[in-house]
């Protein structure tokens, strides 16, 4: 986790300055990434939050942050997703950290189709983007505490699911660098295993435990 490699690392845009976004942005900064952060409106409104909680990140308008990024982290409240403009992230690699959980969000018609996971529905709407699902199944309050150096015996595993293997590789590397063991899932459809109520949601598991939890559920 050094900053010397910053020039070769993908540039990260975090969309969302609520519970989750600033934490992911801070971890990315610590891992040496160049990070911009955006909310739904004027960056001036999140300037103080950024300065205190994510020193080193640049608050920007969403469109500017996305344009100058290689990897977009989407951490907006799921109920605001219906109003999110797909054109903003067209052609981009988008990391979907969101969850659909009706007891918390209320019922969202758009996500009610039981045949699809929430990230599959996100991917259908963001049809011109490449979607990878990760970081959805641990609490934002655990993100800081649970990261460990590579090789630590208690390093926690995080699932990384997507249909595009090259995109999954980029995101798996991101997960590795911020302090977690990435476990690749071969499709967004398989990413349903990472959802609320699934075998790994909210559970701190090491890689072997994580893989065996996924296997026993999929079996």
Part of the chain binding other proteins (CB under 8 A), chosen from 60-68, 97-105, 118-126, 171-179: 97-105
d(CA 203, CA 44): 37
Q: Minimum Å distance from CB 93 to other proteins?
A: 26
Q: Minimum Å distance from CB 62 to other proteins?
A: 16
Query: Which of 7, 8, 91, 103 lies at the binding interface for other proteins (CB under 8 A)?
Result: 103
CB 88 within 8 A of CB 63: yes
What 3-state DSSP class applies to 105? helix
Q: Is residue 110 at the binding interface for other proteins, with CB under 8 A as the rule?
A: no
Q: Is residue 83 at the binding interface for other proteins, with CB under 8 A as the rule?
A: no
> Can you tell me which residue has the tokens 């500017």?
64
d(CA 152, CA 70): 29
Q: Is residue 215 at the binding interface for other proteins, with CB under 8 A as the rule?
A: no
Write out the two tokens for 177.
């660098």
Nearer to other proteins, 111 or 168 (CB): 111
Query: Which of 30, 201, 206, 209 lies at the binding interface for other proteins (CB under 8 A)?
Result: 201
**204 CB contacts (<8 Å, ≥6 apart)?**
138, 142, 146, 156
Query: Which of 108, 125, 148, 155 lies at the binding interface for other proteins (CB under 8 A)?
Result: 108
CB 134 within 8 A of CB 175: yes
Residues numbered 42 to 71 that lie near other proteins (CB under 8 A) are 48-49, 51-53
Q: How far is CA 142 from the centre of its chain?
A: 14
d(CA 186, CA 130): 14
Part of the chain binding other proteins (CB under 8 A), chosen from 68-76, 122-130, 140-148, 177-185: 140-148
d(CA 11, CA 37): 11
Q: Is residue 197 at the binding interface for other proteins, with CB under 8 A as the rule?
A: yes
Positions touching other proteins (CB under 8 A) are 17-19, 22, 48-49, 51-53, 77, 79, 99, 101, 103-106, 108, 139-142, 144-145, 196-197, 201-204
């Amino acid at each position: 986790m050094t900053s010397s490699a910053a020039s070769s690392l993908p540039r990260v845009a975090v969309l969302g300055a609520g519970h989750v976004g600033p934490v992911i942005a801070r971890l990315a900064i610590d891992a040496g990434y160049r990070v911009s952060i955006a909310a739904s409106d004027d960056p001036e409104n999140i300037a103080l939050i950024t300065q205190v909680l994510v020193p080193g990140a640049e608050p920007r308008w969403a469109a500017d942050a996305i344009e100058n990024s290689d990897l977009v982290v989407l951490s907006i409240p799921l109920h605001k997703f219906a109003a999110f403009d797909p054109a903003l992230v067209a052609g981009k690699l988008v990391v979907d950290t969101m969850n659909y959980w009706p007891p918390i969000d209320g019922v969202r018609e758009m996500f009610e189709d039981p045949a699809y996971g929430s990230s599959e529905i996100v991917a259908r709407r963001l049809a011109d983007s490449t979607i990878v699902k990760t970081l959805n199944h641990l609490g934002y309050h655990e993100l800081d505490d649970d990261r460990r150096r590579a090789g630590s015996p208690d390093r926690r595993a995080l699932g990384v699911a997507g249909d595009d293997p090259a995109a999954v590789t980029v995101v798996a590397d991101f997960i590795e660098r911020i302090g977690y063991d990435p476990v690749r899932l071969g499709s967004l459809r398989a990413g349903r295993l990472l959802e609320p109520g699934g075998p790994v949601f909210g559970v701190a598991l090491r890689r072997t435990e994580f893989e065996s939890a996924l296997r026993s559920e999929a079996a």
